[in-house]
Amino acid sequence: MSNSHPAFELVTSADIESLGVHVEEYRHVVTGAQHLHIAADNQENVFLVALRTVPQDSTGVAHILEHTALCGSDKYPVRDPFFMMIRRSLNTFMNAFTSSDWTAYPFASQNRKDFDNLLDVYLDAVFFARLDPLDFAQEGHRLEFKEVDNPDSELVFKGVVYNEMKGAMSSVSSQLWQTLSKYLFPTTTYHYNSGGEPADIPKLTYEQLVAFYRSHYHPSNAVFMTFGDIPAAEHQAVFEEKALHKFEPLNKSIAVGREDRYQAPLRVEEHYPLSDEEGLKEKTHIVLGWLLGDVTDLEEALTAHLLSGVLLDNSASPLMKLLETTDLGTSPSPLVGLDDSQRELVFVCGIEGSERERADELEQQVLTVLEEVAEKGVPYEQVAASLHQLELAQREIGGDGYPYGLQLILTALTGATHRGDAIGLLNIDATLEKLREQIKDPRFIADKTRKLLLENQHRVRLILTPDDRLTERREADEKAVLAEIKTRLSEGEKKQIIHTAHALAERQQREDDASILPKVGVEDIPPELPKVDGEEVQLGTRKLTRYSAGTNGLVYQQMVSALPEFSEEEKQLLPYYCQVLSEVGLGDKDYLEVQQWQTRVAGALHGFTSSRTAIDDLQHLSGHFILSGKALARNQQALTELMQATMEEVRFDELPRIKELLLQTLARREQGVVGNGHALAMAAASAGYNRAAFENHATGGLLGLRNLKALVRGLDTEQGLEKLAGQFQAIHRKVLAAPRQFLLIGEEDKLSEFSDALAPLSADSSLPAADPNAPFETQHIEQLWLANSQVNFCAKAYATVPMTHPDAAPLAVLGGFLRNGYLHRTIREQGGAYGGGASHDSNIGVFRFYSYRDPRMEETLNDFDASLKWLATEKHKDEQVEEAILGVVGALDKPGSPAGEAKKAFHSNLYGRSHAVRQEFRRQVTEVNLEDLKRVATSYLKPEKASTAVVTGALGREAGLKLNLQEEKL
């Protein structure tokens, strides 16, 4: 019996016990639109509509259309409904994505009224977009004169996506993947950069954008996906009423075909821009990529995932062992592994930190390892361990990054996009069971290695070498293109460019009538912050806090030790001690044996540190070391034994392994700068205010990266390595002797049994916790950090107050108020940055302004100050304050996974942030008014007291030095 709306027909359905959901697939009778509904007992409802988008060039048409479609629709003809709804909503997620072959518009909310509001706006935005030419100019690209009204000044390209992609393509891993795809896919849409290549984006015309919209944004080409406790028929009634009844079937089918296969492997070389004062030596990437099977064939896809796991899961896996230990490069490539996001699976392996002339040798080494696997196979225990990892990944209930429902939807979306079995991608238990039987054949992995890799001629070897003049040449090419365009401009065209600039500026300044958009208000906020209760019991002389949670057959446990007194040098080494701890040998087992042990019994095992200030004193800083593990419930005893061995039997004598790990860490940290530049700039700007802020910068920030580079340079000698190993051992002795307690999360009927198993970890302690009130000398910061980036990341920071101070709540609301009312318009819309805003971090007592992938520097820093003048001098409405309050409360109430919620509750309590404290802060947030915002801005945000940090590239260096920022090199 179908529960569908009359406009839809049920295609198929399935109960997926391992996920605790019921999945239904429907088809819209008239247009053929798909609707996949994942029914779950979960009040965080999720919606996504995806369109198959298959661009045939790199102008970024699908990406620019994603942005432009959200700039106004028939029912909501306002300039910016997407960003306006973000602040009129209690959403737990709102975004839009452009992938290589689909564009998706997802959101999630726990509030039914809010969900209905967002669904109405999203459906209209996608199917009835206005596509105003000025929005195309703002979001995509446009020409402007550098001096807007002076046609004799030079021409420049502007546009949000244009600058976003300049930033995105500053990432070496993005360039590596895009270049490899270009050759792996010579004929299909993946050959092109769906986000847009900066040099190609200006070639896209408005007419081409509109044509792409008309051919792709149609229900016949759409996949609707929903998750949660709202029935499918209720969703379908809205789809039909708001959109679908207005459409006839589309007379064409948009799809990605299978790629033509090479008859012999292809070897290519390209370049990437790198300006590095340390030189270009050993900065080359060498990767090998194979095109495998169809992603919609579940058995083929899972077999490929298993093969990838067997070859690459851990340091003892045959291929990963080679990539980590070969002297041809410094570390494995960031692309290593299996990609299943496209029509056909891609398997990649390779190295970075190499030289082009080593490519032949690396390729031969890889093929030799694969030949050995194909000849001799792999021990059953290793294959079973990799299959165990697949099962664990399938069972785990996520939701700590994206909403859990959205994770499931994105898993199924690949199948739906290519008209395959979307439900099958979620319901993999039967295929896993089949694989369990197949791997009993010792030839199974051997034969798959030969068939899928060794005999597969569709293989590309890419050498990506650095070029320190490439950025300069690209800038020169762009200037030449612009100069050539300018010589061809008629007087009328020059006037049109000036007119467009003025029309856009006027449109950006225009105050739209937001009242036509639906909203929720403070009255819709639930009165109580969601609460998760744990139970404290004794474990010997130690405290164990345990939480009952629906973990779908997994257990999570942590050993939590108060950080003892460390020297400043030891504090700098703590992150690397934590990383090395679970990656080296234990007792009589070397690190390779330990890696296999971990893969057999655990889903994850790693150490990390956390620290927080006191809720009422920013100078009081306490911290903890945490050894965290998760496993299937049947392996809890084995997980505990592994954790005990990790603490009691770790050995730091595998010196080459330690060096290898730190080289890998350095490579990842360097690659992460341009993706996380705004956070790094904020950390740098905040570092002078207190010890907590400084330690953020000195470990996880840019100063930490510089220190890591220096540390790695010292590992070239045996003495340097031995010294570091000795320091790790000294840190470990202190951690072992520190007072400890435990966290346990699992299903209720197993908690007592799990608790008993933890007893061996409850050793006595002999060291006290570190002094939480160590002195700190404050300093003013004006820094310019140089990185390999084509865009800027700007930040200003001000010292403020801790969480329980009465001004903490107004400061939290102020960030959203300034972003919504001023910064979004000036930094993103007018300035062309991908993003910008402000926020308050009560843990370090700092208010920060930031911009992300920003073509400007001085103007943005001035905009930060101008936002404060705007607050003080302009007239504002109470509803603007309400919108900012909704944003803060939405973030506070955002749910995580069941295990994630329990961890959050435990660690909040650990640092005095009890439910009652957080509830009181939330209450104060809901009562903030406009006068509060003006008062705290005047009290704390005096521009002369700001600290400033900018992350930029070689092209931004001169502008930064003119602002008297002190140059800091990584």
Q: Are residue 219 and residue 93 in the same domain, yes or no?
A: yes
Task: Give the per-residue pLDDT at 879.
Answer: 93
pLDDT confidence band for 395 (50 / 70 / 90): confident
- For helices 298-312 and 429-438, give the axis angle rounded to 10 degrees: 60
Could you tell me if residue 11 is inside a domain?
no
Q: Are residue 323 and residue 388 in the same domain, yes or no?
A: yes
The one-letter code for the residue type at 291 is L
pLDDT at 277 over 70: no
Could you tell me if residue 158 is inside a domain?
yes
pLDDT at 275 over 80: no
If DSSP states are collapsed to H, E and C, what string results for 189-226?
HHHCCCCCCCCCHHHCCHHHHHHHHHHHCCHHHEEEEE
Share above pLDDT 90 across residues of the chain, in percent, rounded to a whole number: 82
Show which of 410, 443, 467 is a domain's final residue: 467
Q: Would you put residue 61 in left (φ > 0), alpha (ψ -120 to 50) or beta?
A: alpha
Q: Which residue has the higher pLDDT, 848 or 670?
A: 848
Could you tell me if residue 488 is inside a domain?
yes
Distance, CA of 594 to CA of 56 (rounded, Å): 48
pLDDT at 707 over 80: yes
Q: Are residue 53 and residue 202 in the same domain, yes or no?
A: yes
pLDDT at 780 over 70: yes
Distance of CA 866 to the CA centre of its chain: 31
Task: Give the per-residue pLDDT at 1.
Answer: 41
Q: Are residue 220 and residue 285 in the same domain, yes or no?
A: no
pLDDT digits (tens, 9 = 90+) for 825-845: 999 999 989 999 999 999 999
Could you tell me if residue 546 is inside a domain?
no
Element housing 107 (H / E): strand 102-109
Closest CA relative to residue 561, chosen from 550, 574, 549, 551: 574
Closest CA relative to residue 697, chosen from 904, 431, 968, 355: 968
CATH of the domain at 439: 3.30.830.10
Q: Are residue 398 and residue 490 in the same domain, yes or no?
A: no
Q: What is the mean pLDDT of residues 601-627?
A: 95
First and final C-alpha spacing in the chain: 64
Q: Are residue 164 and residue 306 in the same domain, yes or no?
A: no
Task: Give the per-residue pLDDT at 865.
Answer: 97
pLDDT digits (tens, 9 = 90+) for 921-961: 999 999 999 999 999 999 999 999 999 999 999 889 999 99
Q: What is the mean pLDDT of residues 130-147?
A: 94
Q: What is the mean pLDDT of residues 552-556?
A: 90
Q: Are residue 463 and residue 480 in the same domain, yes or no?
A: no
The one-letter code for the residue type at 870 is W
Q: What is the mean pLDDT of residues 455-473?
A: 93
Q: Are residue 288 and residue 327 in the same domain, yes or no?
A: yes
Q: Which residues are catalytic?
A: 66, 139
pLDDT confidence band for 420 (50 / 70 / 90): confident
Task: Give the per-residue pLDDT at 2.
Answer: 55
Angle at 551 between CA 604 and CA 339, to 5 degrees: 50
Of 268-272, 513-517, 934-938, least confident by mean pLDDT is 513-517
Total domains in the chain come to 3
Q: Would you put residue 107 in left (φ > 0), alpha (ψ -120 to 50) or beta?
A: beta
pLDDT digits (tens, 9 = 90+) for 877-923: 999 999 999 999 999 998 888 899 999 999 999 999 999 999 999 99
Q: Are residue 481 and residue 455 in the same domain, yes or no?
A: no
Q: Are residue 812 and residue 899 in the same domain, yes or no?
A: yes
**170-207 as b/e: b if 16+ CB within 10 A:** bbbbbbbbbbbbbbbbeebbbbbbbbbbbbebbebebe
Could you tell me if residue 436 is inside a domain?
yes
Q: Note down the domain range covering 75.
A: 42-228+475-509
Of 135-139, 225-229, 670-674, least confident by mean pLDDT is 670-674
Burial class (CB in 10 A: 0-12, 13-18, 19+), 697: buried
Q: Are residue 214 and residue 320 in the same domain, yes or no?
A: no
Distance, CA of 381 to CA of 574 (rounded, Å): 34
Angle at 223 between CA 97 and CA 299, to 5 degrees: 95
Q: What is the mean pLDDT of residues 855-873?
A: 97
Q: Are residue 336 and residue 452 in the same domain, yes or no?
A: yes
Could you tell me if residue 484 is inside a domain?
yes
Q: Which residue has the higher pLDDT, 290 or 753?
A: 290
Could you tell me if residue 6 is inside a domain?
no
Could you tell me if residue 518 is inside a domain?
no
Distance, CA of 575 to CA of 586 (rounded, Å): 20
